[in-house]
Amino acid sequence: MEATQTTRQQKIARQIQRDIAEILQKEARAVTAGAMVTVTTVRVSPDLAYAKVYFSIFPFNRNEEVMESLNSNNWLLRRELGKRIRNQLKVVPELQFFLDDSLEYIENIDSLLKE
């Protein structure tokens, strides 16, 4: 995927980010298994067929469990996303989920500095 995204890609990515965050808050609460999940970034392929969704999960020790839950419920999130963006896109992008551990990294450095 290219480093720079077109304006359309950026708009679609922002829309997907908002929609997935809302879906996780409302329709798919069970998917997050009680953890606080934030959609940090979404990157969309040039053909708009794929979307890489990056999540930040708190507490950090639940990362693996929540990511497994997100991956196994990918179909549910994609279906709900499709209901929301069907008027803007012909094809609902294939979703790929990734862990954004930058907050965990920051907290780790923070704790090391305090020692």
Tell me the CA distances in angstroms from 56 to 92, 111, 113, one per residue in order. 23, 19, 22
Domains parsed from the chain with CATH numbers: 7-114 (3.30.300.20)
Q: What is the pTM of this model?
A: 0.84
Three-state SS for 53? strand
* pLDDT (0 to 100) of residue 3: 56
Segment-wise mean pLDDT, segments of 10 residues, the chain, 115 residues: 76 96 90 89 95 92 92 95 92 95 78 85
* pLDDT (0 to 100) of residue 47: 94
